[in-house]
Amino acid sequence: MSRERAEAKQDGVARADAIGPQEPFATSPLCIIGGTTASGKSALALALAERTGAVIVNADSQQLFADLPILTARPGPEDEARAEHRLYGVLGPREQPSAGRWLALVLPVLAELAACARPVILVGGTGFYLAALLHGLSPIPPVPEEVRTRLIDETRELPSPELHARLARLDPMTAARLRPSDRQRILRALEVLEATGRPLALFQAEPRRPLIRPRAMMGVALLPPSEVTSPRIARRLKDQLARGALHEVAALAARAPGLGEAARANETERWPILKVHGCRELLAVLDGRLGLFEAEAEIARQVRAYAKRQRTFFRTQLPELRALAVVGEADGLAERLAREWRARFARADA
């Protein structure tokens, strides 16, 4: 078990409300690589790490899970041999990969690497994690675990659109910002409202402060157009299936009693790993509820929709990252960024 996974086990489920006020601390030189899924972020991070000696730190919610390394496109042993990787495979299948939890894990890693002057490449497609690190989190009071558990139990049989309608009656301001299918965030809004008596949107409107103060920073967001990413999504999915994605889902189901039943009931609150793209569909294949061809088409459709949402988020919420309409493997990109890295961080040292 990795050091980060051991720490994650000790921490319990950390939420966004678990990160209290703190002074931003200085990090070592930091490069951020964000962008859409299947845009080549990991390949670019690895090429840049080999040129700069940086440590690659994960900022992707799905790659936090220890299970399903093929389906989550986690860096493999060969990649990890070429550069040091941190915060990959640190959570179990029932542990929630929230922004608060990621911050609770990543801030000590950044502090440790700053202490030994190791440069860092933060890479991942979970833009909300990067925004939370750079801009801070809303000051939401802690929600008692009993409130959270009771809400999950009470609403288990309620379809997400009906849950959204319930939130719209109680907190129309927050409901207007959420998709009716976004069950996790709808439940989050309901639990905050019940615990505090105040709409989540009002907390989110309060001033935030960044959690880090990089000595020097550069960042890019890989945002190739959909006509580029869609074929890459399809090819990656076929490769994942060829390398055993269905078998790894079957192995997870065998050692995680109740996962298949939870998938049929869409209980992603109790089994967060079900939110990994393709997990529920491949479980349906194993149950005989879906054919593999149909599952592949549905997974690809969902991932394309996710890439579209990522494009919007990175363009509108992370102006610090320079948008590039290319893939990470583009000729000369890693070398150009390495030169920019050296020049920028040399100025910071001057």
Q: What band does 206 get if pLDDT is binned at 50, 70 and 90?
A: confident
Residue extent(s) of CATH 3.40.50.300 domains in the chain: 3-137+208-349
Q: What band does 1 get if pLDDT is binned at 50, 70 and 90?
A: very low
Task: Write out the DSSP string of 91-159.
Answer: B-TTS---HHHHHHHHHHHHHHHHHTT--EEEE-S-HHHHHHHHH----PPPPPHHHHHHHHHHTTTS-
- CATH second-level architecture of 145-204? Orthogonal Bundle (1.10)
The 8 Å CB, 24+ separation contacts for 340-343 are 340/218, 341/29, 341/31, 341/48, 341/51, 341/52, 341/119, 341/218, 342/52
Q: Find which of 8-22, 30-44, 157-171 is predicted with most confidence, using mean pLDDT.
A: 30-44
Among the residue ranges 11-15, 57-61, 169-173, 304-308, the one predicted with the least confidence is 11-15
pTM: 0.86
| Residue 204 vs residues 58, 105, 176, 320: alpha-carbon distances, Å | 25, 22, 14, 20
Of 348 and 61, more confident: 61
**Under CATH, which number does the domain 3-137+208-349 receive?**
3.40.50.300
Residue 34, H or E segment: strand 30-35
User: Two tokens at 293?
Assistant: 């061809």
Q: What is the pLDDT of residues 87-118, one digit of tens each?
A: 999 999 999 898 989 999 999 999 999 999 99
Q: Find which of 129-143, 148-162, 257-271, 275-289 is predicted with most confidence, using mean pLDDT.
A: 275-289
Mean pLDDT rounded to a whole number for the chain: 90
Residue extent(s) of CATH 1.10.20.140 domains in the chain: 145-204
- Give yes or no for a contact between 16 and 138, defined as CB atoms under 8 angstroms apart: yes
Q: What band does 5 get if pLDDT is binned at 50, 70 and 90?
A: very low
- Give yes or no for a contact between 272 and 97, defined as CB atoms under 8 angstroms apart: yes
Sign of the alpha-carbon torsion through 79, 333, 106, 100: negative
Quote the DSSP letter at residue 220.
Answer: E
Does the pLDDT of residue 22 top 90, yes or no? Answer: no
Among the residue ranges 54-68, 128-142, 220-234, 302-316, the one predicted with the least confidence is 128-142
Q: Give me the percent of the chain exceeding a pLDDT of 90.
A: 75
Does the pLDDT of residue 11 top 70, yes or no? Answer: no
List Cβ neighbours of 85 (8 Å cut-off, separation of 6 or more).
Answer: 55, 56, 57, 58, 75, 79
pLDDT at 17: 42
Does the pLDDT of residue 284 top 50, yes or no? Answer: yes
pLDDT at 12: 32
pLDDT at 123: 98
pLDDT at 349: 63
pLDDT at 27: 84
Q: What band does 346 get if pLDDT is binned at 50, 70 and 90?
A: confident
Secondary structure string (H, E, C) spanning 264-330:
HCCCCCCCHHHHCCCHHHHHHHHHCCCCHHHHHHHHHHHHHHHHHHHHHHHHHHCCCCEEECCCCCC
